[in-house]
Structure 1
Amino acid sequence: MTPKDPADAGSPAPRRRSGQLESQIITVLVEAGRSLTPSEVLEVLNASTTLSYSTVVTTLTRLYKKGSVARRRHGRAYKYGAMADAPGLIAGRMSRLLSEEQDRASVLRRFVSALDPQDEELLRELLRDPEA
């Protein structure tokens, strides 16, 4: 009896990081430069991953409820368009998380202390000159 190769088709796919699929979908919408149906989003995404139609619809619906995408009726489905790019989506998520804590100074202090030195320096530069 030979041990199973973990790369076999029966192995579960690795889990995505929180928000990763949302970022991928936003990127697809931004790069398309126009509104897309869930089927069109799925077609682009399935070039690099295997997703179900319902997963894409659920994620687009969540993004719509968060105000990250706009939607309009297109037959029986909707077409979705990005309201912001992927960095804007992540920045919005960070702002929402920060707003949930009363002691913002402690949260920001811990955030900065957890940054690697290059990101910390980048943050300092951005605070000095937001247009940099």
Structure 2
Amino acid sequence: MVGRCAAGQSSDPPLTRRASGELERAVLALLWAAPRPLMPMQVQQRLGGGLAQSTIATTLLRLVTKGLVERAPHGKGFAYRPLQRVEQHAAVQMLDLLQRGDRPDDVLRYFAGQLPAGYREVLRKALATPA
């Protein structure tokens, strides 16, 4: 039963809408942390927050369409797993951001200059290693 206040207003806290992409990021994080593919109901249970299973299923299908998640038959439904490791996904996002700018050389120089010394050394070694 929903609580009521004066003037017919609900005393329950208002539902907040997630920021664009927030649910997709949360679902991906769950899939990366899972030891095996998850079904929509498992994702729903682990996310909590009262999300409808249809919302989870739609989000998973969007991730499939974007090429981030694979869907495979499992029992009477489907199970989902990420197609990239979290590190690969982060690298793709970084490259995408770099390619959006007009001056990627400047962005790279600034980025490298902001890195802590340990990360700069990792970057030096990575650049010295043939791809």
Question: So what's the TM-score if we normalise by structure 1?
Answer: 0.64
Q: How does 1:83-102 map to 2 (within 5 A)?
A: 83-101=83-101
Alignment of 1:54-69 (within 5 A): 54-69=54-69
2:12 alignment partner in structure 1 = 9
Computed over aligned residues only, the root mean square deviation of the Cα atoms, in angstroms, reads: 3.4
Partner of 2:73: 73
2:43 is paired with a residue of what secondary structure? helix
2:28 maps to: 26
How many equivalent pairs are there? Answer: 118
Answer yes or no: is the 8 Å Cα contact 1:42–1:53 preserved in 2.
Answer: yes
Find the counterpart in structure 2 of residue 103 from structure 1.
103
- 1:54 counterpart letter in structure 2: S
Q: Which runs of 5+ in 2 are unaligned?
A: 6-10, 127-131
Instruction: State the distance in 2 between where 1:104 and 1:14 align.
Output: 34
Structure of higher CA gyration radius: 2
Deviations 1:40-65 (A, max 9, x none): 1111111xx33222222222122212
Structure 1 unmatched ranges of 5 or more: 3-7
> What is the TM-score of this pair, normalised by structure 2?
0.64
Which fold has the larger relative contact order, with Cα–Cα distance below 8 Å and residues 6 or more apart in sequence?
1
Q: Secondary structure at the match of 1:129?
A: helix
1:43 to 37, 42, 45: 45
Q: What is the CA–CA distance in structure 1 between the aligned matches of 2:101 and 2:56, rounded to whole Å?
A: 31
- The separation in 2 between residues aligned to 1:76 and 1:24, in whole angstroms, is 25
Give the ranges of 4+ consecutive aligned residues of structure 1 lying more than 4 Å apart after TM superposition. none
